[in-house]
Amino acid sequence: MHDEEKVIQRMTRLLQKEIFEELTMEDREELEDWLKTDATRREWYDRMRSRDFMKEDHRHYLEIADPEQAWGRMEGDMNRNVRKTRWTWIGSVAAVAVIIFCVTFFWGREGKIRPPVYLSVNVHESVLISLIVDDGKDSIPLNVNQDVCFVENGVRAENNTLIYDTVLRQMSEVEHHTLAVGRGGEYRLTLSDGSVVWLNAGSSLRYPVCFTGDRRVVELHGEAFFQVSPNEKMPFEVKSGDFSVSVLGTSFNVTNYMDEQYARVTLATGKLQVNKGEHCVIIHPNQQVQLGSDCFDVREVDARYYTSWIENKFMFDDEPLNVIVRKLARWYDLDYEFTDPSLEGTRFSGQLLKYDDITKAFELLEMTTNVHFTINQNTILIMKGKQ
């Protein structure tokens, strides 16, 4: 481990101890000495400890890679005293997350603070979401803000969720529906067996109105998170491109966009089987299968980073900037262009709120990388920042 990394880890620990009022006199002197060596460190430290900073909603942005001790301590405090104010608890969480983030990422580089880019892009109110019935014979638009709307017998749209009643299992003829979500949107679906599907932006799912026979089969294009109702007599199968996923009852994420180099299947809970041609593998929680034209690899991951989008946030762990910008562009329904291709590999770890204005994401990324963002018409331009 490099000396700089050791210093970062040490200062991170001291800042955690300060939040929990565990600093010794020697710790305090060590922390103060470190802050004195750079005016920028002191400036950001003072700003992020201020109440005004907490009011700016920065508290939601970041989640350190391994905050188990800090989170466990704060959750324990909250459980011991449920009458504590929400502000106090969130403030503590925010202080730990933001300060550690700055130690790890901002203070590790030289640079000046740039003002945020003042733009406003929020397309989520007018996203095109459609229910296609009878295999394309009819299309029904779905309003993301509607309270309750009965689409047809046994099918209703309610609070951004399409729900199929269990009574549909008694249908004599099996009809297929397709739920299509445009860029900039997301939608939730409860199938007739009780399984729940979160469909991400730029995705579609084809499925039977009711499941019959010995399998429950759906077809996915794009990305979805599945929470499958257990049924040992009727396995649940997701087909996507040239591979399929088979489960009995579990929760998992499937990503298979045309503009991504690889498709990915990530398991959150339970156990599932991934099939592609002659390849077949069974994976367990926090494992992922990465699939491509010449790729069928299993690797260990933290599933939270691949399923966080259903909790209205993006979490990144040392992700290259081109992957991050591609997700943002899909979510905000924008195009993007790197003016300098060398920036595509810039790495970032942190957390972004999905329903925030994109300018907040830009501000965070600019704060922690030597990159500058702007929007020209409908295109995100990514360029080198000022040194």
Query: What's the mean pLDDT when you consider all of the chain?
Result: 76
Q: Which residue has the higher pLDDT, 286 or 370?
A: 286
Residue-wise pLDDT tens digits, 176-224 = 889 999 998 899 999 989 999 999 999 999 999 888 889 999 999 999 9
What predicted TM-score, i.e. pTM, was given to this entire model? 0.67
Residue 329's pLDDT band, with cuts at 50, 70 and 90, is very high
pLDDT value for 147: 52
Most confident of 72-76, 156-160, 242-246: 242-246
C-alpha pair distances (Å), 37 with each of 8, 30, 40, 220, 281 = 14, 11, 9, 54, 53
User: How do residues 64-93 score in pLDDT, each as one tens digit?
Assistant: 333 444 334 434 443 443 333 333 333 334
Does residue 273 sit in helix, strand or coil?
Answer: strand
Give residue-wise pLDDT tens across range 35-70.
887 776 676 666 555 544 444 444 443 333 334 443
**What residues have CB less than 8 Å from 235, skipping those under 6 apart?**
214, 215, 216, 246, 247, 248
Three-class secondary structure of residue 192 per DSSP:
coil
- The Cα 267–Cα 274 span in angstroms is 11
Sketch out the chain's domains with CATH numbers.
3-106 (no CATH), 124-306 (2.60.120.1440), 311-384 (3.55.50.30)
Measured CA to CA, the distance from residue 92 to residue 22 in angstroms comes to 14
